[in-house]
Copies of this chain bind each other. A is one copy, B any other.
Amino acid sequence: MSATLPSLQAWLEIRRQSIDEALDRFVPADGEPRIVWDAMRYSLLAGGKRLRPLLALAAAEAVAERQAQDPDRAATLALPAACALELIHTYSLVHDDLPAMDNDVLRRGRPTAHVVYGDGMAILAGDALLTQAFALLASEPREVPGLPASELASRKIAAIRLIAEAAGASGMVGGQAIDLRAADAGAAALDAAALRDMHARKTGALIRAAALAGASMAGAPPPLSAAIDEYASQVGLAFQIVDDILDVEGASADLGKTAGKDAAAGKPTYPALYGLEESKRLAAGCIDAALRALADAGLSGHLPALARWVTGRQS
């Protein structure tokens, strides 16, 4: 593991830079009317781990490598979809932070969008980020040398469908609805199976869609897509367990958001349900399963190190 970490760090740095540059181009500073583009950029360009776009790019690269194709070309193909996923993730945070939802005032170390722009404009900025994600998925990349236009169109359609279904009423939004209802009802509202279902929708679905959309833009055949799906499902679950653990253990300064918030709100969490040590064992088990799925399909690249990074993070 220590041998791969420096290479992961270098890769993370290069890819994060290309993601941030692309986000700045796809949600430009000169958009009109200015107020809504400013509010979108405020939340979008506030940093963040960029986990979903990184997963999309790593999956695209791994699929290309596995098929003896150029990983950099695959990453270029998947970059707009990767950015669209970050737009969707950011919109979900903006809406989730609203007083009518989680009522949070701190996010990525800064005041939340509604604190700065007001509730109405924050709702609109979220709506605009979500809509812009689909404009981006449909328009970029415009053309790719060596890839027939019809093949590019059908890969885009597949990615749009994957992402919209994962982000929608049966996926991410559905998970937020369950969460909202459970928070209203108190901590005892969800048992272990219901908690897992809620997280599979609320965070898991978009993480899966990220890896699958990256694989799809790189032209993954069904067996590779299935392996990527299993990998991303396990990574998504581990990510959520670690999130809950950090909410208990972390300090607000490291997290960039209010620590202990979930527990204080009476929300069901993995540590509350299983205890801290068992939660850590569960997360480690997910990563093992993710790595097995990759190995069985002959996939590697940065995907294994990215899975380990998810559980090792401190914020």
Contact = CB atoms under 8 A, between A and B. Distances in A.
Interface string A14-37: 000000000000000001110111
Interface in A99-146: 100-101, 118-121, 123-124, 126-128, 130-132, 134-135, 137-139
B128 A35 contact: no
A95 interface: yes
A242 interface: no
A297 interface: no
A126 B169 CA distance: 10
Nearest to A135: B164
Contact of A124 (B137, B156, B173): B173
Interface stretch (A176-184, A214-222, A245-253, A286-294): A176-184
Given A31-B169, A36-B169, A135 B153 contact: no
Given A169-B128, A173-B124, A177-B35, A134 B101 contact: no
Given A95-B127, A100-B123, A169 B134 contact: no
Q: Which of A31, A35, A138 has the most chain B CB atoms closer than 10 A to its own CB?
A: A138
A168 B128 CA distance: 5
A64 interface: no
A248 to B, nearest CB: 25
Contact of A37 (B32, B161, B169): B169
B33 A177 contact: yes
B130 A127 contact: yes
Contacts of A256: none
A150 interface: yes
Nearest to A27: B169
A207 interface: no
A161 B134 CA distance: 7
Contact of A101 (B95, B101, B123, B174): B123
Interface string A238-279: 000000000000000000000000000000000000000000
Contacts of A181: 35
A149 interface: yes
Contact of A123 (B37, B98, B169, B178): B98
Nearest to A128: B169
Interface of A: 31-33, 35-37, 40, 91, 95, 98, 100-101, 118-121, 123-124, 126-128, 130-132, 134-135, 137-139, 149-150, 153-154, 156-157, 160-161, 164-165, 167-170, 173-174, 176-178, 180-181, 201
15 contacts: A33-B170, A33-B178, A35-B181, A36-B177, A95-B127, A100-B123, A121-B177, A121-B180, A124-B173, A126-B127, A128-B173, A130-B130, A132-B164, A134-B164, A156-B157
